[in-house]
Every structure is written in structure tokens, then in C-alpha cells.
Structure 1
Amino acid sequence: MKQLEHFDTIYQRAAERKGGESHLERLLSTPLRKDEIAVISDDRWLSAFSMKVFQSGMAWKVVRNKWPNFEELFFGFKIDPLLMLSDEQWETKATDKRIIRHNSKVMSILANAQMIHEVRIEHGSLGKMIADWPMDNLTDLWLYLKKHGQRLGGNTGPYALRQMGVDTFLLSGDVEAYLRAYKIIEGGRDTKRSLSQCNQAFAHWQHQSGRSLTHISQIIAFSCGDNRIIQ
């Protein structure tokens, strides 16, 4: 790992590229507090995970436009009714013309409902587990979702967490390129070593800046790559 840039340097470069500090600050999204995360119901987590699974490899707008149909067909993503469906009922839902018909993605809804059910037994709810997760080991939460869920690896799980307001950095194309330039990520992006070094780097910048992981991640993205102010 190279010596890291001071966060103030990253911030000033991002501000310059985005037309000043006030413009940059308006672009940042603020995560929810832990107590707000803890009370999010399990059905909303399953809906968010499922949406990101379907958006993977597809136009996000197309999936969003169809999502009310998904909510209706899958009982508002309530865990218990979904777990009571038979194999034949799942097969019927996977071919329903009101949604995007993709059998393996539809079946990931069942697998992730089962994961959330298991978490609920141990922790009370998925929201409580995520709220209690140590942020200095954030990528272990990503790996948990990948291991125990279905189709939640790569950026899918982290993007769903961000959508739900969880304070998380993202390894978007711009952020990953920056981290590779400083040898924070070397070789495989999702190796234990790379993810550990990402945790350490973001903890370092958080100590310097006092900002959320979400803000730090967004500011890094705005400081490099293809991000430019729209005139």
C-alpha cells in the first residue's frame, strides 16, 4: 500500500471538479443513524436486495418501473408468506408477465427470504444485525450477505445496503480505480487482503475527516475518474 493521500487533499480536488465546496456538499447523501437502521422491517430489506439483484445487468429504470408489480406479486416481500409458497407456486410467479421473467433471479427472492428468516431467529431482525455490525469490519458484512444470501456478491449487496441508508463505502469503478492506484487493492478486488486494506484505508480517512463512510466514498468518486461538473 502506498502512503495515502490526506483526506483534505482528496476533498479539495473533488470540490474543484464539482464547482466548489457548497456544490460538492449538495451531491453527498447522508446515511441513516444506527437506531433508524435497526427498525427497518425485514420485508424492506428483502425488497431492496431483490431490486438490486434484478438491476444487475439490466437498465435500473426498467426494473424500478416494474417494481410495483413485484411488490404486489410477492406479498410486499413479507417473509412468512413467501416461505409458505410451494415449488409450483414459485414456478408460476417466475413466469408471470407482470414482472421481469428471470427464473434464477426470482428464486433468489426465496433464498434471501430464508437468509433473513435465519437472521431473525438469531438477532431479532436483519436491521438489528446490520445496525450492530462493527463498521471497522464493514466488508465482512458484504461477505456475510454473499455467503448466506444468493446473488448478493460483488457490488449487489453493498449497493442494496447504500440504498437502504446503511453507512457503507462502495467499490464503484471510480473508487476501485483510485484504490488500485494507491495499491490498497491489488489483484482480486474481493480477496480478504484487498477488503481488509479497504477497511483500514476508509477507517484512516474517517479518523482524519470525521465523516461517514458514505461521504468519504462519494468524495473519492467525485475526485477522480469520469466525474465532472455539469455546466
Structure 2
Amino acid sequence: MTEFSVIEQRACERAGGVDALESRLIRPEPPESLAMIGDDRYLSVMNRRIFRAGLTHRLVDARWPAFEIAFADFDVEAVAAFDDTDLQRLARDEALIRHRKKIFAVRDNAIAMQAIIDEFGSFGVWLADWAEDETVELWLELRTRFTQLGGNSAPAFLRMCGKDTFLLTGWVVKALNEWGVYRGRTTSRAALAEIQQLFDSWHEATDRPLCQISQILALSID
């Protein structure tokens, strides 16, 4: 298997040096910080990611203050109590993005999040407890529990809220192929488990967080 130092060296060359590369890399939040984030913020970020899927991020972000107002600042208990009439009205609101399935998904996700809160005390505590070597399992758990978090939306949500995760963007998958470290499907449970092991080995060898490893992979190819 290609040593990650070789991949990182190529990324450094393409970025313009070590300092230039480091300046582009993100840093995840530590577990204690994730545990302190309010449940309302997690619900907001989750649904902002859902609305971003298929749309320009700038458009969604510009509308998000109106979403905060419409959905009671994403108070989990309040949103879980919305009835169909409330949601149908919001699905026609021109201040929002009128996507009926995603509007209804906000309530579904509040209900799902409330179940986690009832069991673990807060969503942040539940999220913070997931270890890096179980990242793929976390993706699958999010996809199972929540609505509209398929594809790359679950890992993208984690990245947005600061939970360490790698992403399997087109650039990352292309890099895995070009470096000869993984070829084949990236969607089956078995494939994801194999890719998780690959990232775990690089994480152990470099002590870099998973998010930086996937960024470096993406930056290592033309």
C-alpha cells in the first residue's frame, strides 16, 4: 500500500508547500466541545445540509435565517410537535425553499433526535461518543435514524458540525484509485468497511484526523 507520506508530499507540492497545505486543512472539534453544542444547533445544521443537497450552498445559507424563524429556532421539542397543517403552510412559504419532502423531513428529524436526547441526555453527547474507527457505522446509523441523510449527506453533516469524518467525494475516490490503494464500489457496507480500515491505518500512521486525510487525498491529484 502507498505510504501516506508519499501522498502528502504530492499534496504539498500541488498546494505550494507545507505551510500552504496546512493552512487549507480543517480541524475537528474535540469530543468535549461536541457534547456542549445545543441540540437545536445540531437540528439546524442537519436540515441545512439536507436543503443544500442539490442546491447551491449560498442560496440555502441566504434563506436560513427565515428557516430559523419558521422552525422556532430549531427547538427540538417544538419542531417535533408541528402538525401537518403547520408543515403544509411552510411548504408554501416563499421566504423558505419550497421543497415539501424536505420541509416534512425537518419534523421527522426532530422526532428522531428527540428519541436520542431522551436516551442519552443530548444529541451532542451521543455524537461525541462515536470513535473515529467507527465512522462508517455512524454514517449508517444517521442514515437509518434520520430522513434525507442518504448519499454523502450524513458525512457532510458531520463535517459541518465539527465531528471528525472523512468524505468520499469524487476527488477523494479518484485519488484512492490513482494511488492504487482502493478500487471498486464505495457504497456497499463491505466496501465502506474496507475504506474505513484504510483511513484508520493512515490515521494511526500519521496521527492526522480523518478529515485532513481525506482533504490531503483530494489535493494530491490533478
TM-score (norm 1): 0.92
Q: Which residue of 2 aligns with 1:152?
A: 149
Q: Deviations over 1:29-69 (max 9, x none)?
A: 11110100111111111111111111111111100111100
Question: Residue type matched to 1:191 in 2?
Answer: S
Question: Residue type matched to 2:6 in 1?
Answer: T
Distance 2:191 2:122 in 1: 30
The percentage of counterpart residues that share the same residue type is 35
- Which of 80, 83, 91 is the matching residue for 1:83? 80
- Which of 182, 185, 192 is the matching residue for 1:184? 182
Q: Quote how far apart the aligned CAs of 1:178 are.
A: 2.1
Q: Quote how far apart the aligned CAs of 1:179 are.
A: 2.5
1:100 is paired with a residue whose SS is: coil
Provide the aligned length of Structure 1 versus Structure 2: 221
Q: Quote how far apart the aligned CAs of 1:183 are.
A: 5.5
Distance 1:110 1:51 in 2: 13
Contact 1:73 1:93 in 2 (8 A): yes
- Which of 38, 48, 51 is the matching residue for 1:54? 51
Contact 2:175 2:220 in 1 (8 A): no
Q: Which residue of 2 aligns with 1:216?
A: 213
Q: Deviations over 1:106-161 (max 9, x none)?
A: 11101111110111111111111111012111111100111110010111111111
For 1:81-160, list aligned pairs within 5 A: 81-160=78-157
Runs of 4+ with deviation above 6 angstroms? none
RMSD, aligned α-carbons: 1.2
- Which of 10, 14, 17 is the matching residue for 2:14? 17
Contact 2:80 2:108 in 1 (8 A): no
Q: Which ranges in structure 1 are unaligned for 5 or more consecutive residues? A: 226-231
Q: Which ranges in structure 2 are unaligned for 5 or more consecutive residues? A: none
Contact 2:82 2:107 in 1 (8 A): no
Question: Residue type matched to 1:203 in 2?
Answer: D
Contact 1:206 1:216 in 2 (8 A): yes
Contact 2:116 2:122 in 1 (8 A): yes
Distance 2:134 2:161 in 1: 19
Q: Which residue of 1 aligns with 2:62?
A: 65
Contact 1:17 1:222 in 2 (8 A): yes
1:58 is paired with a residue whose SS is: coil
Q: Quote how far apart the aligned CAs of 1:190 are.
A: 1.8
Q: Which residue of 2 aligns with 1:42?
A: 39
Distance 1:127 1:186 in 2: 34
Distance 1:184 1:142 in 2: 20
Contact 1:83 1:114 in 2 (8 A): yes
Distance 2:78 2:181 in 1: 47
Distance 2:15 2:85 in 1: 53
Q: Which residue of 2 aligns with 1:167?
A: 164
Question: Residue type matched to 2:135 in 1?
Answer: L
